[in-house]
Amino acid sequence: MATRRHVLAGLLASTLPRLSWADAGSPAFLAAARDAEGRFALHGLTEAGGSLFAIPLPARGHAAAAHPHRAEAVAFARRPGTYALVIDCATGRPRARLAPPEGHQFNGHGAYSADGSVLYTSEVWAETSEGQIGVWDTAGWHRLTTFATQGIGPHEVRRLPGTEVLVVANGGIRTDPQDRTKLNIDTMRPNLSYLSPEGALLDQVELAPEMHQASIRHLALAEGETVAFAMQWEGDPAEPVPLLGLHRRGEAVRLCPPKDEDLLAMKGYAGSIARSAGLIALTSPRGGVVQLHAADGRPLATHARPDACGVAATGGGFVVTDGGGTVTGLTAEGFRPLARTALAWDNHLVRI
């Protein structure tokens, strides 16, 4: 419940001038990275991979959420985490540091409402890994409410474009709150859940029983409300399974295997996913590859890129970041160099 202090803070915040992304240099992407001295920062990148700004983070980052209008981002700690830093990207100053309620942990991702007035955060009850969505007012940065994700171990949460419907990747894995040991691999039940902004369950799909050890992790929102999702296989590593799935509300899940010769290339691990110009890209830092699929899931190509993980859409293709500091462009024809840095890019590249 909002206190008088929260209300006053919100009123004060609403009267302050809010700068746009143009005031921050019009970055195209956000990405967390570690420099050679071991310091962590959130970077704003150009289309060509150059860093426009680097804003210090208190610890390793995972992903960020970009405000739809103003030059504001929320940088999330590597999961399971206890910080979410609200940053004014035009000035480089933190606006707020969010902390989950006692017994909760942030799980690496969040999403703004269409008008930017609300932030939704992916969370778990630490002891049970039961999924929760935290709902935050972005004027005064107080917590409004919490509701269930309808699954275990949620990771990415996204908002369907043009709607306020939330899509949650419930990974299905219960983990130890201290050391992240996986506790329920034999009984995993990952699901994709669609929730109203009030928390009502609108739709939910699970994978087939033989795929119950494929943890649904990351999401790319495609045309026609089709959701593309990336998975990480917790079963027998010698058993190749599809790591890309497609789903449209009211329909069955479609799994999209790669070409036969590429079945083991990703080593059971999809690190991130993006969609651009009729293509879907899946990265695998473990396999050192990026796989491209058509919008309908047909496999197209597998391209080698050591420690590639971050991927986001750009005109006609993708931008990919890797742990070695390279930023590259990617189309169906392959990679082209964009920028070389002394940074170790973290897991995700977020399109603003």
How much is the pLDDT for 225? 81
pTM, two decimal places? 0.93
Residues of the chain predicted below pLDDT 70: 1-17, 223
Q: According to the model, what pLDDT value does residue 12 have?
A: 44
Predicted pLDDT of residue 132: 98
pLDDT of residue 107: 95
* pLDDT at residue 90, rounded to an integer: 97
pLDDT for the residue 227: 97
**Predicted pLDDT of residue 80:** 73
Q: What is the 3-state secondary structure (H, E, C) of the chain?
A: CCCHHHHHHHHHHHHCCCCEHHHHCCCCEEEEEECCCCCEEEEEECCCCCEEEEEECCCCEEEEEECCCECEEEEEECCCECCEEEEECCCCEEEEEECCCCCEEEEEEEEECCCCCEEEEEEEECCCCEEEEEEEECCCCCEEEEEEEEEECEEEEEECCCCCCEEEEECCCCECCCCCCECCHHHCCCEEEEECCCCCEEEEEECCHHHCCEEEEEEEECHHHCEEEEEEECCCCCCCCCCEEEECCCCCCEECCCCHHHCCCCCCECCEEEEECCEEEEEECCCCEEEEEECCCCEEEEEECCCEEEEEEECCEEEEEECCCEEEEEECCEEEEEEECCCEEEEEEEEC
